[in-house]
Amino acid sequence: MTELDRGSDVLVVARAGETQDAILSAVAAQELDAEVLTDPDRVAGSWRSAGTVLVADDLAEQLVGLALPHREGVFLVGTDVARLSAWSAPLAAQVIALPQGGAWLGSVLADGASRVRAPVVAVVGGSGGVGASTLAAALAQLAGERSGGAALVDVDPLGGGIDLLLGAEQVDGWRWPRLSSADGQLGDLRRHLPVVDGVSMVAMARGPALDLAREPLAAIVGALRAWHSLVVLDPGRSAVPAAREALRLAARQLLVVGPGVRGAAAARQTVVALGLDRAELVVRSSRGGLPADLVADVVGRPVLATLPEEARLVDAAERGEPPARGARRRYRRAVANLLGELVGAEVHP
């Protein structure tokens, strides 16, 4: 398989000199990682995968000559006002004139960095069929309604397909087989992936079993983080390498606990078997079920949220109606609160 390029935060195209120094000190101040190229002829490989591209004014003409594909997030930086204005349009770049634009350079980089850092959440079932994929999809859907959009990645080859859950099996777009053999720059995947309700999906394809490797997953998640406000992973309950990688990549591991003593006991075993040392529990509440603190004691992990029973979800899943649309408000509200715990409440300007 060809190696996928995850892309650095910032691509700097600048010869050694004052402009390069100004750019690199701004990059260092934001604690970003930069790829520095002094020769524009070598830019093609990283052009689309970098989060932000900064081009020094004296290399702009040469770069335009390469006729690179259009991309967002390109800035032309330097002190030569004539060059800056001449090459900004052909590069579709915004201009940062130095030294007066130094502060803006910093905020442009901070902006790019905030895109790069979209949180990654994995949702795992504490037992089989407990609603982990449904919750993963509902979280992504509610996050997708916010600005920035969300991504949902199916990492469970035996799970039946996340696209079915969202009614997207007929929606065109790249699925796993295409992505696991993609070469080079991933960049912005949004226009290639099936999208429903603001959720970009990396779904399984129906057909021959796919041997999911961990490397493309890391690259795909890296790229998705740059272009969405939340990335949700559905690793299933197996310990295949890609699922383990999904758990490693996730800053937050949510474990959905089934009702009753058996639900909690199974969740405990799942924590041990999959090494879920960061798991936070989402407890399916049921009448006469265990109190949250007892569930936390049995499983040995803290409870983050409870999730109500929602019989309508079963029908919704059969019809391919996305869960946050098919469920009643009570379930939606619980998922919205959980999303708030994960990424903060939405700020209305």
Residue 132 found at the interface with ligand ATP (CB under 6 A): yes
Considering only CA atoms, which of 39, 43, 35 is closest in space to residue 67?
43
Amino acid in the structure at residue 189: L
CB-based contact 328:310 (threshold 8 Å): yes
* Rounded Cα gap, residues 245 and 214, in angstroms: 6
Residue 310 found at the interface with ligand ATP (CB under 6 A): yes
Residue 313 found at the interface with ligand ATP (CB under 6 A): yes
* Rounded Cα gap, residues 283 and 207, in angstroms: 34
Residue 157 found at the interface with ligand ATP (CB under 6 A): no
Considering only CA atoms, which of 93, 95, 53 is closest in space to residue 78?
95
Q: Segment near ligand ATP (CB under 6 A), from 109-117, 244-252, 293-301, 303-311? A: 303-311
Angle between helices 102-116 and 18-29 (to 10 degrees): 50
Q: Site for Mg ion (CB under 5 A): which residue of 30, 133, 200, 270?
A: 133
Residue 134 found at the interface with ligand ATP (CB under 6 A): yes
Span 208-247, contacts to ligand ATP by CB under 6 A: 236-237
Which tokens sit at 43?
């830019």
Q: What is the DSSP letter of 101?
A: T
* Rounded Cα gap, residues 27 and 109, in angstroms: 7
C-beta closer to Mg ion: residue 132 or 179: 132
Please state the closest distance from residue 208 (CB atom) to ligand ATP, in A.
20
Residue 157 found at the interface with Mg ion (CB under 5 A): no
Please state the closest distance from residue 139 (CB atom) to Mg ion, in A.
13
Q: Segment near ligand ATP (CB under 6 A), from 61-69, 146-154, 201-209, 304-312? A: 304-312
Residue 134 found at the interface with Mg ion (CB under 5 A): no
